[in-house]
Structure 1
Amino acid sequence: MRKYILSILFFLLSLSIFAQKKNEAYQLNIQRTTQPMEIDGIMDEPGWQEAQVATDFYMVLPMDTSSAKVRTDVKMTYDDHNLYLIAICYHALPGRYMVESLRRDFAFGKNDNFLLFMDPFDDQTNGFSFGANAAGAQWDGLMYEGGKVDLSWDNKWTSVVKNYEDKWIFEMAIPFKTIRYKKGITKWGINFSRLDLKTTEKSSWAPVPRQFPTASLAYSGILNWDQPPPAAGANVSIIPYALAGVTKNYAVDTKNTFRRDVGVDAKIAVTSSLNLDLTVNPDFSQVDVDRQVTNLDRFELFFPERRQFFIENGDLFTNFGYQNLRPFFSRRIGLGTPIHFGARLSGKLDKNWRLGVMDMQTGAVDELNLPTQNFAVVALQRRIFSRSNIGAIIINKESINYEPIADITKPRYSRYNRNVGFEYNLASSNNVWTGKAMVLKSFSPGVSGEDMVYAGNLLYAGKRWNIGAQYEYVGKNFNPEVGYVPRRGYMKLNTQIKHLFFPKGTKILSHGPTLNSTNFFNTSFRATDNENYLLYSITFRDQSVLGAWVAHDYVQIFELFDPTRSGKDSLALFSRHSWNSWGTEFISKPQSLFTYAFRTRYGGYYANGTRLNITGEIGYRFQPYVSLSVSSSYDDINLPETWGRTDFWLVGPRLDVTMTNTLFFTAFLQYNEQIKNVNVNTRLQWRYKPASDLFIVYTDNYLPAPFAVKNRALVLKLTYWWNL
């Protein structure tokens, strides 16, 4: 097994040696302006008249073989405090622009938009993204893994969008204190992206192959500074909050519980590229609630992190491993327990080295017999070759004042849990080859042996072919208490092959099959699970998508599991189950004010039963102020013996009202018949200053039958971003 991992590692290394930077010929020169700049969407300042123009964009979609038909011009300049950009986005067809709303961090594919992708270290791996849709809604995020954008990041910058009959203009100012960059570097990676839904054209300044997102930093051009960007200077931000709230638990008929809390976050720039974040008594009551899903899985479900403190440079910690093989998962910290304080040092040491150190202290919870605990994580990453890197991570969870619990009826906790891991990440210069090889080991009291993880994958992403393979071994005693590894004691082999055809002169943009095979084995290499899945998908030129699939599943049961997840009987241990199923899916074109999507699934299920699933979503927008959507899922499960028929609905209507791009109201209802709960969540957010907010959040939970309140809460929270 170790030889297998090493062979993958050396093969990946050999692919990286010959890497060269792409799109180096696309260069934009930026020079300092000495005149004041006003962010008003009007290009009348002398600084704009003197700035070089980035134009003649290239089409990425529908095809990447020609220049863009929709014209976009971009200029950039700077002064002692801010980086400025103005983009003139011309119309190619008459008619109104297409947007969802004024909601911040909008869905990329449903809005006419312009985006900036910026790589201040020119390492083609990490950076920042800023932009707006045609109505002025802002977009900002941290870039990681060479082309992904985490929109949970939020910081201070300003922008304005002005609309004209033949164009819309986006102008912005990004304070140098907002971003991280290495002092003295005069070449940054840069690219600009434009999506015009009327023509269904996506374009970029530096050309990007159609199989990759325009965010791919492997294909960025170069921003040449006339002199090194100015040092941000003393960069300290203090972000205090004050909170008042009331909660009531009707299930046990308690009195109202009142909350009065204060806390503070601080951001301190140790260098222009290394940041220290501190938090004392943080509160995350304003964070969006998790979107509920129908749970028919045998293992724990994954829900993404939404708390701001854990976001910046979070990929250093949370992206170590794979989607279902994560040694560190920040949601294990402070959900159900109070966080007293925490610190995180993260960022770039230089062009090649990245460092992340985090320490969090949680409080005791007496009713759970849970003591004060400390969580410490150290991650180090070294860039090698063009875009690849090697990384190491150490995770330590320690119970403070540990006392063994003699009473077996009380919840138990460990004295400590530690994980150590190493990985190599491949990213070829043209992004066609990507992959990973990793090893992990856990340390827990009284446990030794079979506590290792070995895994590796390799993916080829061409224009017509997409071929990948992944291998995992997880020992039965591997114990990541601060991670997300829902399954242990297995070996897994996954392969995928996808091919696309590009017909000419039709309404179809591309079509082709995808074959996916996933096989699980126990550590003696005996088959326990497998799924073979064949999908045929058609993408139309209007960006609607139609697909149909067939699948075969085989499962052997090793733990108690109710296949309805509704409190009925469990399947017999070691019983074997296999079935065939089929389904369809359709996503409508994003240009319409009315959008819809549906997915169906029908076929066999456990214990020779059947399962029907119908999932749909419809939406309508009164752009740019109101967006309505309803998602629903219906399951009908028929099983023999004691289960009989089980059916349940999951329905989630949502209302987004954006009065301005600084005043938002969201109402979200979730009716989950499977867990017998109705959840109502409403949030009013007023961004009265950049990155400073007033939140009013109201939450209700009900029993659906008989309809009765379980609990409710009202929270008022005020935050203020103060730059020293």
Structure 2
Amino acid sequence: MISFLRQHFLVFCGFLLGLECLHAETPSVRTLELKDGLTPPELDGVLSDPCWEKAETVSAFTQVFPKEGAIPSEGTVVKFAHDGRYLYVAIRCHDREPDRITARDLQRDSFEEESFPADDHVQVALDPFGRERDGFLFAVNPLGAMTDGRIEHGGSTAKEWDGIWDARAQRDAEGWTAELRIPFSTLSFDPAKDSWGVNVQRVIRRKEEMIRWTQPSQSREGDWLDDIARIEGMSGLNQGLGIELKPYTVFRHLDEVDGEGSTELRAGFDANWLITPALTATLTVNTDFAEAEVDDRQINLTRFPLFFPEKRDFFLRDAPYFSFPYGTALMMPFFSRTIGRSAEGEPVDILVGAKFTGRAGPYTIGILDVQQDSHDGIDEKNLLVARVTRELAADHTLGAIITHGDPYSNGDNTVLGLDYQWRTSTFMGDKNFDLQAWLIGSDTTDMGTGTTFGGTFGYTNQPWYLYGIFAQIDGGFYPAMGYLARQGVREYYFVATYQWQINRGGLRTFELEVLPIIITRLDGEIETADISLPGLEWGWDSGAELSVWLSLKEEQFFEPFEIQPGVVVPVGDYKFQSVQMEYEGAPSRVIAPNMGMEIGEFLNGDIIAWNVGLEYRPSPYLHLGLSYAEQAVDLPQGEFTTRLASVNLNLAFSPRLSWNTLAQYDNESDSFGVNSRIRWTVRPGTDVYLVLNQGYVVEERNRLRRVGSEAALKAGVTWRF
């Protein structure tokens, strides 16, 4: 009888505990409002200001890697405060071995994907609307170097976004500290909400240890906004008049060796008006992109165009408002790179442009209208894109996009698309799952109409990761202001990955992956197939990774293809296979090598391809990157070798003054180019750029002949009212 009662008592207690967990409160912290004599902290990275002694603390961090749910090896404390104009964040990162803190990056935004891949750092994710869909990411390392991004679709960060904010950091005997100062005029938010979503993540690089305040799951990234903590007391926020002016002046000198040089002095400006804290109107006049980084060179051995990402600040700033969850790499209904460029990629002047972006109730809105100058026989054109999404219910979104205009012809082109997205973190209890579907049509002068439709699903969890795509692109579909790799095809894409957590002998993870990609014509005939079976990947505690896979491929040519000058592959169905390998060294090391190799068949011949690279970071002031890639192809129709080499030298004198130089060579164009750029951030929002571009062609006996140069000096200042 006693045993019976004990058993049922334990069940009852378990039931009550379960109810308690179901009703557990979301973790929260109250931001300290700086009033009644409390002055804002001095932004120096030293947390000795009186206000920080009164602020509430966050210290309940949990390990994500290497062991999910474990106690962190080092303590972390975070505090928040605001004075109506700025949000202040103080972070204390305890470290019992301060001499081993890893910090080698001194530049802002010197990486594209992960925040500070080689350094210790902390990052703060903010969700001002509390919708778990979009927000902002701010990160800083122990040297005070900063990076930021716009979070879109609940957990994908566009690192290209460059907000106006500031931070400082200091190292001491207890570890390191950081202070962030984020103007509310940099953020979009709902003034009716007193609480925002927030999460904080720290990385201890030498241990490859990641800890997080909330959502410490390996199935989720630090920029995921689902079910994160709350920061309370976010009321009485002031964005001023909401007016931002940024005039700029550009002095440019072009020197054409085989022609006349030219000198140009031009001026322009951007103006922003915060109509509400969540809606922004932007005007740009005589837009100039002198400071934009050059493209990384690529060599194309396929029949289809290569993709180069957008790098111009005007288009990147509000890019998430125009993003379309298309899922496939074959098509984008809108791609801002088509604006302000000719079909050959040369710059075309933008006379004036206007943007209207932000949120109103359940709607997210992005409207862009640009007047592009005439060029190469094409008249002055007006180009329009509008994107609207609406929240239907929790986790469900319906969207629409329209583009009108053809930047590459005197004809017209209109694209209209609809999309639906369901994204949840409670699938089967606590699993991540997302589902997307889209339908897009186009109407083009002299080409008629065409459509594309498709869908994706994603089950992104541990240990299973599953993702699939289906898309159909009709032969008449043409998005003139978008990106299109192929027409008249269907795409089938699926990836399944299973990861084992090893955590023994320096080996952290082992993954097994299957990845089939099949692209057919509309009649079902295979055009391209690439099946990785199996893919094996090892990950070490140091951060190094090794991948090996067998690639089974098929390419069917329905017309002859000139793969290289004088080498024509005839019509036929080619089936071939190869073994591939990639190695990436630990990014936190002073010297981080990487390499890749492919050996096997290629079309109806053979290929030996390899690439090597080296990242050398002896100090925060110097970063040297070297890379070389070679593809040796032997076909019955001929043999050829492609070569691509680059040298990247980055010098950083402080987090606000840097000098980056990129030199690139490829034997397909037989040209050598150098881009050198100095950036000085006088204060947040005020930047001076000095850019030099040099172009050379390689002649006999490997002599270089200069074919042109360009020098540009650009200065811009931001005033906020």
TM-score, scaled relative to structure 2: 0.91
Q: Deviations over 1:630-651 (max 9, x none)?
A: 011111111113x2x2113211
Q: Deviations over 1:231-254 (max 9, x none)?
A: 32311111111111111222xx11
Contact 2:245–2:720 (Cα < 8 Å) also in 1:
yes
Count of aligned pairs: 680
- CA drift of 1:46 comes to 2.6
**Paired residue secondary structure (1:198):** helix
Matching residue within 352, 358, 376 for 1:341? 352
Runs of 4+ in structure 1 over 4 Å off: 20-24
For residues 322 and 562 of structure 2, the distance between their equivalents in structure 1, rounded to whole angstroms, comes to 34
**Paired residue secondary structure (2:321):** helix
2:651 is aligned to 657
Structure 2 residue 696 is the aligned partner of structure 1 residue 702: yes
1:547 is aligned to 547
For residues 341 and 685 of structure 1, the distance between their equivalents in structure 2, rounded to whole angstroms, comes to 26
**Paired residue secondary structure (1:52):** coil
For residues 625 and 701 of structure 1, the distance between their equivalents in structure 2, rounded to whole angstroms, comes to 27
- CA drift of 1:396 comes to 0.3
Amino acid at match of 1:54: V
For residues 660 and 396 of structure 1, the distance between their equivalents in structure 2, rounded to whole angstroms, comes to 44
Q: Deviations over 1:340-372 (max 9, x none)?
A: 01000001112x21011110010001xx21111
Matching residue within 376, 380, 387 for 2:388? 380
Deviates more, 1:500-509 or 1:168-177: 500-509
- CA drift of 1:523 comes to 1.2
Q: Deviations over 1:157-216 (max 9, x none)?
A: 221111102211101211111111011201211000111112211111113311322111
Q: Deviations over 1:88-130 (max 9, x none)?
A: 0111435232223211024422111111100000111111111
Contact 2:98–2:175 (Cα < 8 Å) also in 1:
no
Structure 2 residue 170 is the aligned partner of structure 1 residue 162: yes
Contact 2:325–2:436 (Cα < 8 Å) also in 1:
no
1:434 is aligned to 434
Deviates more, 1:479-488 or 1:429-438: 429-438
For residues 521 and 454 of structure 1, the distance between their equivalents in structure 2, rounded to whole angstroms, comes to 15
For residues 133-532 of structure 1, the aligned pairs below 5 Å read 133-225=141-233, 228-250=235-257, 253-322=258-327, 323-335=329-341, 336-350=347-361, 352-365=362-375, 368-397=376-405, 413-430=409-426, 432-448=432-448, 451-532=450-531
5+ residue gaps, structure 1: 1-19, 400-411
Distance 1:25 1:445, change over 3 A: same
Amino acid at match of 1:570: V
- CA drift of 1:24 comes to 5.5
User: Percent identity, aligned pairs only?
Assistant: 23
Distance 1:701 1:359, change over 3 A: same
**Paired residue secondary structure (1:284):** coil
2:536 is aligned to 536
Contact 2:474–2:489 (Cα < 8 Å) also in 1:
yes
Deviates more, 1:206-215 or 1:353-362: 206-215
Contact 2:124–2:138 (Cα < 8 Å) also in 1:
yes
Amino acid at match of 2:350: I
For residues 524 and 124 of structure 2, the distance between their equivalents in structure 1, rounded to whole angstroms, comes to 48
Contact 2:459–2:465 (Cα < 8 Å) also in 1:
yes
Distance 1:245 1:446, change over 3 A: closer
1:567 is aligned to 565
Contact 1:490–1:521 (Cα < 8 Å) also in 2:
yes
Q: Deviations over 1:24-70 (max 9, x none)?
A: 52111113112222112222323211111011211111121212222
Amino acid at match of 1:610: D
Q: Deviations over 1:556-597 (max 9, x none)?
A: 11355323xx32233224x21110101111111122111111
2:30 is aligned to 29
Structure 2 residue 129 is the aligned partner of structure 1 residue 124: no
For residues 138 and 540 of structure 1, the distance between their equivalents in structure 2, rounded to whole angstroms, comes to 27
Structure 2 residue 608 is the aligned partner of structure 1 residue 612: yes
- CA drift of 1:704 comes to 1.9
**Paired residue secondary structure (1:428):** strand
Amino acid at match of 1:357: I
Matching residue within 596, 599, 623 for 1:599? 596
For residues 312 and 249 of structure 2, the distance between their equivalents in structure 1, rounded to whole angstroms, comes to 17
What root-mean-square deviation, in Å, do the aligned CA atoms of Structure 1 and Structure 2 show? 1.8
For residues 482 and 559 of structure 2, the distance between their equivalents in structure 1, rounded to whole angstroms, comes to 21
Contact 2:378–2:410 (Cα < 8 Å) also in 1:
no
1:690 is aligned to 684
Q: Deviations over 1:306-332 (max 9, x none)?
A: 111112331232334233320000000
Distance 1:703 1:24, change over 3 A: farther
Amino acid at match of 1:288: E
Structure 2 residue 132 is the aligned partner of structure 1 residue 101: no
For residues 159 and 634 of structure 2, the distance between their equivalents in structure 1, rounded to whole angstroms, comes to 41
Amino acid at match of 1:81: R
For residues 24 and 66 of structure 2, the distance between their equivalents in structure 1, rounded to whole angstroms, comes to 21
Contact 1:588–1:595 (Cα < 8 Å) also in 2:
yes
**Paired residue secondary structure (1:503):** strand
For residues 292 and 723 of structure 1, the distance between their equivalents in structure 2, rounded to whole angstroms, comes to 38
For residues 239 and 576 of structure 2, the distance between their equivalents in structure 1, rounded to whole angstroms, comes to 61
For residues 30 and 162 of structure 2, the distance between their equivalents in structure 1, rounded to whole angstroms, comes to 28
2:622 is aligned to 626
- CA drift of 1:391 comes to 0.6
Contact 1:113–1:131 (Cα < 8 Å) also in 2:
yes
For residues 623 and 216 of structure 1, the distance between their equivalents in structure 2, rounded to whole angstroms, comes to 32
For residues 599 and 219 of structure 2, the distance between their equivalents in structure 1, rounded to whole angstroms, comes to 31
For residues 295 and 236 of structure 1, the distance between their equivalents in structure 2, rounded to whole angstroms, comes to 46
Q: Deviations over 1:406-455 (max 9, x none)?
A: xxxxxx82420000000112211356112210000001124445x11111
For residues 459 and 418 of structure 2, the distance between their equivalents in structure 1, rounded to whole angstroms, comes to 23
- CA drift of 1:619 comes to 1.2
Q: Deviations over 1:570-629 (max 9, x none)?
A: 3224x21110101111111122111111111111112x1111111121011132111111
TM-score, scaled relative to structure 1: 0.91
Contact 1:320–1:327 (Cα < 8 Å) also in 2:
no
Contact 2:470–2:493 (Cα < 8 Å) also in 1:
yes
5+ residue gaps, structure 2: 1-20, 342-346
Contact 2:697–2:705 (Cα < 8 Å) also in 1:
yes
Distance 1:448 1:104, change over 3 A: same
For residues 389 and 236 of structure 2, the distance between their equivalents in structure 1, rounded to whole angstroms, comes to 25
Amino acid at match of 2:284: T
Amino acid at match of 1:530: A
For residues 361 and 155 of structure 1, the distance between their equivalents in structure 2, rounded to whole angstroms, comes to 26
Deviates more, 1:512-521 or 1:119-128: 512-521
Structure 2 residue 600 is the aligned partner of structure 1 residue 589: no
1:5 is aligned to none
Structure 2 residue 563 is the aligned partner of structure 1 residue 556: no
* Richer in strand (by share): 2
For residues 504 and 683 of structure 1, the distance between their equivalents in structure 2, rounded to whole angstroms, comes to 43
Distance 1:65 1:296, change over 3 A: same
For residues 342 and 723 of structure 1, the distance between their equivalents in structure 2, rounded to whole angstroms, comes to 20
For residues 299 and 185 of structure 1, the distance between their equivalents in structure 2, rounded to whole angstroms, comes to 48
Structure 2 residue 665 is the aligned partner of structure 1 residue 671: yes
Contact 2:46–2:169 (Cα < 8 Å) also in 1:
no
Matching residue within 62, 65, 80 for 2:66? 62
For residues 311 and 143 of structure 2, the distance between their equivalents in structure 1, rounded to whole angstroms, comes to 26
